[in-house]
Each structure stands twice: as C-alpha cells, then as structure tokens.
Structure 1
Amino acid sequence: MDVVRRAFRDECARLEEILRGLDAADLDRPTPCPPWAVRELLAHVRTGAGRLVDMLAAPPPDRAEVDAAGYFGATKFTPEVDGARIDSARREARELVGVPEVAADFARAWRAADDAVAAQPPGRLVRTRHGDAMTLPEFLRTRVVEVGVHGLDLAVALDRRPWLTPTAADVVAGLLTGGRPVPDGLGWDPLTLIRKATGRVAQTERERTLVEESGFRWLSFGG
C-alpha cells in the first residue's frame, strides 16, 4: 500500500505542477485521445484521481473479487461505456474555464482522495462504479495507471517530454507485465515498456518478433 500510495502522490503532484505552468491555449490542444482536447482529458483524469473519495464513503463489499489487472477488462471499453466516459469529460470540462481553475480542481481532487486513503484501516475493500469489489491498494494501482498513462498522452498534446515519475513507472510497468521481466533483447526501460505496451509508441518488427517468440503476454487494456 505504501508503495502504491507513494506512486499516486508522486504522479499527481507532478501533473499538478505541469498544470500550473500551462496557458489558456494549451487547454484547447488536441490529444491522442480523440475527440478530447487537453481540457477534456484533464477533466477525465481529475475525475479518475478523485474517485476514491465517494468510494471510501460507501460501505465496503464483503470480499474482493477483482484485482487491478482484472479491472481493465473488456467491459470497461464497450462502445456504451466509452460513450458515457467521453460525454462525462466534456460536461465536466465546460465547468472549468481557465488554467487556474483546472489546476486547482485537479489538486483538490487528488489530495482529497489521498487524505481519504490515509484514513482507512488495513484491508479496506471498495466497490467501483462498474461494480468491481477490490482491495483498496489494487484499486489505487488503477489510479496510478490512469494518471500516469494519460500523463503520457498529455505530454504528447503539450509537445513536452514525458514526465512519468519513477515510482509511478514502476507500478504501471509491474501491472502491465504481471511482475515478470520483459523478453531478453528488448532493452526497454519502464517508460519505453509502458509506451510500447499501451500502443503509445509502435513496436518495431524486431520487437514484435522477440515478443512473439518469447510467448510473453502483457496486460491488454480492453482485452
């Protein structure tokens, strides 16, 4: 729990820092997550980062049924769920006009979530909006994925170098690989692995061959 919480805090604090340095034009840049512009992707990330506040205010389920890898299943990526996700971010983005509001709103959301996590006893269980019963650390891993991977998308949109923090990179890479080492010969660092495994950067023919020959399988969002 301490490792995952540190990763969440580090990555959110880094994104908060980035947001405070944006200008108004940055919010309307297109992103690699169409049809969202930066402001809409940020609204989505803000909602995801703050989701634990309401979850932890609700009664816990009796037992955990899904881990972080299972959370990213095909039901999260149906056209209906995707459509609702897109529309929700658009509505929330309209409520935040300028950079100061966007930055402050994100800061409030993730810090409130972190405070809520800090107040929980060991072994706390949560139920997600999709109905998944999970342990708190496993769900928090999914929040590190949301903030970290979408941070890569925001870096592309803002024409900046990726700012993924080392603690978040380790958590996301470990989830994608199931904790297993990547095939010999790839030589990927955690950032490269995450970008390749999530389709943010295309694999070369040689890389695809090495992965196929090794029989390596990583977590596939939506698969």
Structure 2
Amino acid sequence: MDTVREAFRDECARLGDVLRGLSEADLDRPTDCRPWRVRELLAHVRTGVGRLAGMLAAPAPPRAEVDAAGYFGAAKFTPEVDAARVDSGRREARELDGPALVADFDRAWRATDAAVAAAPPDRVVRTRHGDAMSLTEFLRTRVVEVGVHGLDLAAALDREPWLTPTAARVVAELLTGGRPVPPELGWDRLTLIRKTTGRSPLTDRERSVAEASGFRWLSFAA
C-alpha cells in the first residue's frame, strides 16, 4: 500500500502542476482518446481519481475477488459501457471551465488520498462494475489511469511525458506481472508502458516476445 499510495500521490501532484499552466486553448486540443478533447479526458481522469472516497463510505464486501489486472478485463467494457463513459466525460467537461476543472481534479485526488489514509490497509471495496477488490489493488488501477492518460495528455499538449518514477514502477509491475522485461526488447519502463497500452506501435517480434513473457494486456476505462 505504501508504494502504491506514494505513486498515486506523486502522479496526481505532477499532473496537477502541469494543468495549472494550461490555457483554454490547450484544454480544447484533441486527444488520441477520441472523441475527447483535453478537457474531456481530464474530466474522465478527475472522476476516476475521486471514486475511492465514495467506495470507502459504502459497506465493505467480505473478500476481494478481482485484482488490478482483472479489473481491466475487456469483457466488462461493452460498447454500451464505453459509450456511457465517453458521454460522461463530455458532459462533465461542459459543467466546469478550465480553472474549475483543474481545481476539482486537485480536490478529488486529495479527498481520495485522505480516505485511503483513514482506512484499514486490508479494506475491501466494491467497484462500479460490481468487482470486490482490495483497497490496494483498486488504488493501483487509479495509478494506471492517471499515469497512462497522462501520456495521452502529454501527447495532445506536445509535451514530453511527465510520468513519475514511482508511478512508472507500479504500472510496469502490473503490466509484466512483476517479471523483468526480456533484455532482447531493450525497453525502459516508459517504453514498456507505451508499447503494451497501445500508445506506441508494437512490431510482430515485440508482440511475440511480450506474449511469451506473460505480459498483461489491459482494457482501459475508469
């Protein structure tokens, strides 16, 4: 939990620093997460980082049934669920101007961090999909969301990626199952994350090596 919480705090704080310098024109830039613009993707991320406070206020399931990799399983993200997710991000972005949206992101992640700090480390939560997960594993999914969508935001803003070392470690370990990256790939953590989440193309050889190594392929939604 300590490592995952540190990664969550580091990555959210870094994204918040970047956001405070953005103009309305920056927020209206298109992203590769179509059809979202920057402000709509940010609204999506804001919602995702704020989920835990409400989840921790609800009754705890008796036991965890899904880990972070299982949470990102493709089966639950049907076209209907994905369409609702897209529409939600667009609707929420219309409700707030840029400064208010940035401030709300800051409020949301700090509320989550405070709720996590007050909860027992072995707490179990239930996600909006009905999954029962340990608090640590669900917070791990939040690190993935902020970190990977941070790469999307950096690309849309023509910035170098700002992925923090702590978040890169947590995301990379999830993607590889804690295994080392095969030396023949020659990937650092940033390249690993970009390649295995579809942010950079994979060659046939790279995909073959990654699959043989047991890497996990995640479907993204918050």
TM-score range, shorter chain: over 0.9
The aligned counterpart of 2:44 is 44
User: What is the aligned-residue RMSD (CA, Å)?
Assistant: 1.4
Question: Compared with structure 1, are the counterparts of its residues 69 and 158 closer, same or farther at alpha carbon in structure 2 (3 Å cutoff)?
Answer: same
Using structure 2 for the length normalisation, give the TM-score. Answer: 0.95
- Percent identity between matched residues is 75
The aligned counterpart of 2:215 is 218
- In structure 1, C-alpha distance between the alignment counterparts of 2:176 and 2:34, rounded to whole Å: 27
The aligned counterpart of 2:30 is 30
Aligned partner of residue 90 in structure 1, secondary structure: helix
5+ residue gaps, structure 1, are none
The aligned counterpart of 1:163 is 162
| Post-superposition offset of 1:167 | 0.1
Runs of 4+ in 1 over 6 A off after TM superposition: none
The aligned counterpart of 1:130 is 129
How many positions carry a matched residue from both structures? 220
- In structure 2, C-alpha distance between the alignment counterparts of 1:122 and 1:185, rounded to whole Å: 38
- In structure 1, C-alpha distance between the alignment counterparts of 2:91 and 2:151, rounded to whole Å: 23
Which amino acid in the other structure matches residue 107 of structure 2?
Answer: R
- In structure 2, C-alpha distance between the alignment counterparts of 1:164 and 1:79, rounded to whole Å: 29
Contact 2:195 2:202 in 1 (8 A): yes
| Post-superposition offset of 1:206 | 4.5
- In structure 1, C-alpha distance between the alignment counterparts of 2:71 and 2:207, rounded to whole Å: 26
Contact 2:121 2:136 in 1 (8 A): no
The aligned counterpart of 1:56 is 56
Contact 1:76 1:222 in 2 (8 A): no
1:1-223 map, 5 Å: 1-98=1-98, 100-208=99-207, 210-211=209-210, 215-222=212-219
Aligned partner of residue 126 in structure 1, secondary structure: strand
Question: Compared with structure 1, are the counterparts of its residues 55 and 173 closer, same or farther at alpha carbon in structure 2 (3 Å cutoff)?
Answer: same
